[in-house]
Structure 1
Amino acid sequence: MSNIQAEEIEIGVDDGHGLAPLTPGKRTPFIQSIGRFIPENEFNRAVAAYLVKELKRCGFKVVETAPGDQDHSLESRVKRANDAKVDLFISIHYNAVDGKFDGPGKDPEGFSAHIDPSGGQSEVFAKIALKHLAKGTVQKNRGVVKQQLYVTANTKMPAVLFELGFMDNNREALLMIDKSFQQECAQEIAMAVCEFYKVPYVSDAKPQIIKPPASLVKLGTAKMLREVPVYASAEFGTQTGSKLQKGDVRHIYSIDQGWYQLFSGEFIPSNYGKNFDFDPVLPKKTEPPEDTSQPMEEHKANLRRVVVDGKRIGSFGDEENLERNVLQALRSNFKKIEVEDV
Structure 2
Amino acid sequence: MKIELFDYKLPQKFIAQRPLPHRDQSRLLVLDRQTGNIKHDIFYNISGYFDEGDVLVLNESKVVRCRLKGKKEKTEANIECFVLSRLSDNKYLALLKPSKRVIPLDKVNIGKYYFTVKSKLDYGKAVVEFNLPVDTIFKEHGKVPLPPYIKCNDIDESRYQTIYASREGSSAAPTAGFHFSEKLIRKLESNGIILAKLSLDIGLDTFRPISTSEIEEHKMHSEHYYIGEHEAKKIRRAKETGKKIIAVGTTAVRVLETLMSKHGKIIGDSGATDIYIYPGYQFRAVDWMITNFHLPRSTLLVMVSAFAGRENILNAYEKAKQNGYRFYSFGDCMLIK
Using structure 2 for the length normalisation, give the TM-score: 0.26
Q: Which has the higher contact order (CA 8 A, sep 6+)?
A: 2
* TM-score, scaled relative to structure 1: 0.25
